[in-house]
Amino acid sequence: MVLREKHAIMDEMGMKRALTRIAHEIIEKNKGVNNVAIIGIRRRGGPLAQRLALRIEEIEGIKIPVGILDITLYRDDLTTLAQQPQVHRTEVNFDINGKRLVLVDDVLYTGRTVRAALDALIDLGRPECIQLAVLIDRGHRELPIKADFIGKNVPTSRQENIEVYVKELDGKDGVVIQEIVDS
């Protein structure tokens, strides 16, 4: 896929502010964070989940459990993936039964990744509820999935791609919109 960068839609400060707002919204919606845990979807949902947990700890003074979910084996395009799927470890080292879970990802597009994540979570236990936080909602849903917490709504065409950069994996923070020149 050949991509041409069009413009930046969020810089480092914008990302920080969006995550701080989402942290406040999570606390408000759950009336505190006593029974709340955060789970990021690999890969970029992981660092975003860690940052949200840190922000919540700064605000509420409570350390909440954080996990990372690998959904590779639950994807509905597994049989059509060009390369062999790379399976990484799911790192959820706490009991999700009865927890109020916040699932975190960088981009929400068709909703298929979140669908797969829900499948993976249900295999781990029975949380009290699952909420969804995403940094970018770019529309074009193909499944009945909706985010509870959104950093930024970005209307896109299908000829575009959203790329989220996080310091932990990419050495910088930011979000850019790219044009798919050739698929």
Q: Point out which residues bind ligand URA (CB under 6 A).
A: 107, 109, 138, 161-162
Q: How far is it, in rounded angstroms, from Cα 178 to Cα 136?
A: 14
Selection from ligand URA, ligand PRP, none that 161 binds (CB < 5 to 8 A by kind) is ligand URA
Cα angle value 142/146/152 (rounded, 5°) = 105
Is the Cβ of residue 105 or residue 173 nearer to ligand PRP in the bound state? 105
User: Which among ligand URA, ligand PRP, none contacts residue 21 (Cβ within 5 to 8 A by kind)?
Assistant: none
In the list ligand PRP, ligand URA, none, the entry touching 138 (Cβ below 5 to 8 angstroms by class) is ligand URA
Q: Which is nearer to ligand URA, 64 or 166 (CB)?
A: 166
Cα distances (angstroms) measured from residue 85 to each of 79, 88, 92, 162: 9, 9, 21, 22
Q: Which does 90 bind (CB under 5 to 8 A by kind): ligand PRP, ligand URA, none?
A: none
- Distances 98 to 13, 50, 103, 126 between C-alpha atoms, Å: 35, 21, 15, 6
131 vs 137 by CB, closer to ligand URA: 137
- CB nearer to ligand URA: give 24 or 141: 141
By CB under 6 A, name the binding residues for ligand PRP.
41, 43-44, 105-113
| 19 CB-contact burial (10 Å; exposed 0-12 / middle 13-18 / buried 19+) | buried
Nearest-5° angle of CA 51, CA 97, CA 35?
50
Measure CA 8 to chain center. Answer: 19
* Minimum gap (Å) between residue 149 Cβ and ligand PRP: 15
